[in-house]
Amino acid sequence: SKKMSVLDLLHKKRKNQRISMVTAYDYPSALHVDLAGIDIVLCGDSVAMVELGYDTTQPVDMEQMLHHCKAVARGTKRSLIVGDMPFGSYEVSEELAMTNAFRFIKEGFTDAVKIEGGRDRAHIVEKIVKNGIAVMGHVGLTPQAISVLGGFRAQGRTAVKARGLVDDALALQEAGAFAVVVECVPAPVAQAITEALEIPTIGIGAGPHTCGQVLVFHDMLGMTTHPHHEAFVPRFCKRYAQLGNVIREGLESFKQDVEAGTFPSEAYSPYKMPAAELRAFQ
Ligand code: KIV
Ligand code: NA
């Protein structure tokens, strides 16, 4: 099937078809997301937390994001590839934002970029779109701003704040964004944003009324589930698999086989010498 485009997403929204998005950070995860027929693969800056072990998304830089985006691109044929612009790569000037957005396309092989923020960032979105790069917005909980927000917590829980989020999303649409992620807000707020916009909304922890849903690969697949290690997975995240258990069982079986001397068995010892050579050798 053919490559997804930003136009295909808009058509899906207009036809009332829901949009699926999942993160990926490397070749195998991208391969699985793509083969599953997920519409959008996001090389998210959540890579900082779920792949690199940091407590926040703040530490990742352009070089790290591009390294991961390249691998994702090599595993993706059909899904639209969106690259998360990292903290510090777009805020201080439109020129810096442009330089870094071009790097995502030319070096990271993404189809689009995502930046966090609402009205304050609309001028940056506009600049990038005018220069030919599709931009996905991101409102509500914007994890790069954790220093200001004080934690990973729900946003838009007062009438004034909720109206502010609708205005943020409208400003991003006005600036030319092709879609907006809405993260960690009460369902009625995400619904109001969705009803106010022509472009699709993609929710995470934002209830069922958005045009699409996104989850983090490692969280949704239970990658870090382990009986002796309590991994944090957000409350809104449904776990569709317990990959951590599968991985642990595989590793423990290997260890047992090695210690018992039962691996490799004959079936896994494929390299033979011709009989005559073996006699001459021994
Ligand atoms: O980095 C990320 O994984 C994200 C999604 C949660 C939208 O930004
Ligand atoms: Na992100």
Q: Are residues 219 and 257 in the same domain?
A: no
pLDDT value for 142: 98
Q: CA-to-CA distance for 157 and 51, rounded, in angstroms?
A: 31
Domains held by the chain: number: 2
In a domain, 62, yes or no: yes
* Claim to verify: residue 147 and residue 262 sit in the same structural domain: no
Instruction: Please report whether residue 256 resides in a domain.
Output: yes
Q: Is residue 148 domain-shared with residue 254, that is, in the same domain?
A: no
- Do residues 198 and 263 both lie within one domain? no
Give backbone dihedrals phi and psi of 148, rounded to 5 degrees, phi first: -85, -40
pLDDT beyond 80 at 79: yes
Contact 207, 186 (CB under 8 A): yes
**Does residue 129 form part of some domain?**
yes
> Would the pLDDT of 248 be above 80?
yes
Share of the chain above pLDDT 70, in %: 100
In a domain, 53, yes or no: yes
Q: Tens of pLDDT along 99-112? A: 999 999 999 999 99
229 and 252 in a single domain? The answer is no
Q: Are residues 66 and 167 in the same domain?
A: yes
Please indicate, yes or no, whether residues 117 and 141 belong to a single structural domain of this protein: yes
Which long-range contacts (C-beta less than 8 Å, at least 24 apart) are formed by 100-108?
100/62, 101/128, 101/131, 101/133, 101/135, 102/131, 102/133, 103/62, 103/66, 104/65, 104/66, 104/69, 104/133, 105/133, 107/66, 107/69, 107/70, 108/43, 108/65, 108/66, 108/69, 108/70, 108/73, 108/83
Same domain, yes or no: 183 and 206 = yes
* Average pLDDT, integer, range 16-39: 98
Q: Establish whether 183 is a catalytic residue.
A: yes
227 vs 132: CA distance, rounded Å: 48
Choose which residue among 29, 42, 80 to substitute to test ligand 1 binding: the one with the highest number of ligand atoms within 8 A of its C-beta: 42
Q: Do residues 103 and 150 lie in contact, with contact meaning Cβ atoms separated by under 8 Å?
A: no
Where residue 210 sits, what CATH number does that domain have?
3.20.20.60
Residues 227 and 194 in one domain: yes
pTM of the predicted protein model: 0.96
The Cα–Cα gap between 40 and 34 comes to 8
Q: Are residues 150 and 190 located together in one domain of the fold?
A: yes
Whether residue 84 has its Cβ less than 6 Å from ligand 1 = yes
pLDDT score for 109: 98
Provide the pLDDT confidence category of residue 227 given band limits of 50, 70 and 90. confident
Question: Quick one: pLDDT at residue 230?
Answer: 73
67 and 195 housed in the same domain? yes
Note whether residue 272 is domain-resident.
yes
Distance of CA 33 from the midpoint of ligand 2 (Å): 17
Tokens of 281: 């050798």
ipTM of model = 0.99
220 lines ligand 1 (CB under 6 A): no
User: In this structure, is residue 1 part of a structural domain?
Assistant: no
Check residue 202 and give its pLDDT: 98
Query: In terms of residue numbers, what domain contains 264?
Result: 245-281
| Inside any domain, residue 270 | yes
If asked whether residues 134 and 195 sit together in one domain, one would say yes
Catalytic residue among 91, 183, 259, 277: 183
For ligand 1, is residue 23 a contact (CB within 6 Å)?
yes
Count CB atoms within 10 A of the CB of residue 33.
26
Q: Is the CB of 219 under 6 A from ligand 1?
A: no
- The answer to whether the CB of 142 is under 6 A from ligand 1 is no
Judge whether 130 lies within some domain.
yes
Tell me: the pLDDT tens digits for 31-62? 999 999 999 999 999 999 999 999 999 999 99
Residue 216 CA, ligand 1 centroid: distance in Å: 7
